[in-house]
Structure 1
Amino acid sequence: MRAGTVCSVHGCPNLTPCPTHPPRQRWDRSTRGQSLPVDWRKLRGVVLARDRGVCQLRLPGCTVRASHVDHIRPHAFGGSDDIENLAAACPNCHDEKTKTEARLGRERAAALRRGEHWTYPGDHR
């Protein structure tokens, strides 16, 4: 029997599979735990091929090589799983965009609690 490997998280003494740090990439669920479309693996492959494996976000810290697929307009703000709403992204850009979208979500929630109107950036309604 082969011995397990040590968890990849620095300083964690657990062997894999680590109960504290599960694997990061799962293609059947989003990072927020929402179910992805049944054909997500295929759709992801099509988007990465269409964008030639190059990050389309190009934010500061971009590594250029894409391994993630981003919803241009997130589900939380009315986005869909249509291929036109998907773009290849490097992990750094995808993480930064996700953080920005989380901040926007908090701002939207606060505005709605105050009874204010809120629109997604770029919407001109």
Structure 2
Amino acid sequence: MSTSRTGTATWLRHAAQAKREAQARGLARCPLCGVWMDYEVGKRPNSAEADHIRPHSLGGSDDIDNIRVICRRCNQSRGNGLKRPGRQRQRPIKRIELAKPARSGAFPAPPA
């Protein structure tokens, strides 16, 4: 049975250190969305969480230099930060309806 990568002693120690340092610096708002972060209570959308800057799946490490503090909602919505080609939502193409040529007499003449 494998263990969680983020459950290792190194990650837990560095994550706690990053949160302590961020709180000491006065980081009160999430740098991504601006919500007020709660350092006291966990498992809430505005709870402060440690996040890998470069995801572990892309070769990032558990070093303190690769950790930032963001809110739980941003951390969970970010996933591993990969943008998969072909899976991105593309904006729909706006279709411009060209006016059909009016037959003479179909519309009244504009007032002069």
Structure-2-length-normalised TM-score: 0.50
Structure 2: give runs of 5+ residues left out of the alignment. Answer: 38-46, 88-112
Task: Summarize the Cα distance change of 1:69–1:88 in structure 2 as closer, same or farther, 3 Å threshold.
Answer: same
Task: Summarize the Cα distance change of 1:97–1:56 in structure 2 as closer, same or farther, 3 Å threshold.
Answer: farther
How much has 1:107 moved relative to structure 2?
Answer: 3.1
Task: Summarize the Cα distance change of 1:35–1:50 in structure 2 as closer, same or farther, 3 Å threshold.
Answer: closer
Q: How many residues align?
A: 74
Amino acid at match of 1:44: A
Where do residues 47-62 of structure 1 align in structure 2 (5 Å cutoff)?
47-52=18-23, 54=27, 58-60=31-33, 62=34
Q: CA–CA distance in 1 between the matches of 2:54 and 2:29?
A: 14
Structure 1 partner of 2:9: 38
Report the aligned-residue RMSD.
Answer: 3.1
Amino acid at match of 1:59: L
4+ residue stretches of structure 1 with deviation over 6 A? none
Structure 2 partner of 1:6: none
Q: CA–CA distance in 2 between the matches of 1:94 and 1:78?
A: 18
Q: In terms of Rg, which structure is larger?
A: 2
Structure 1: give runs of 5+ residues left out of the alignment. Answer: 1-27, 111-125
Where do residues 86-105 of structure 1 align in structure 2 (5 Å cutoff)?
86-98=67-79, 101=81, 103-104=82-83
Structure 2 partner of 1:121: none
User: Whose relative contact order is higher, 1 or 2, with alpha carbons under 8 Å and at least 6 apart?
Assistant: 2
Selected match of 1:64 from 36, 41, 55: 36
Amino acid at match of 2:15: R
How much has 1:81 moved relative to structure 2?
Answer: 0.4
Determine what percentage of the aligned residue pairs are the same residue: 26
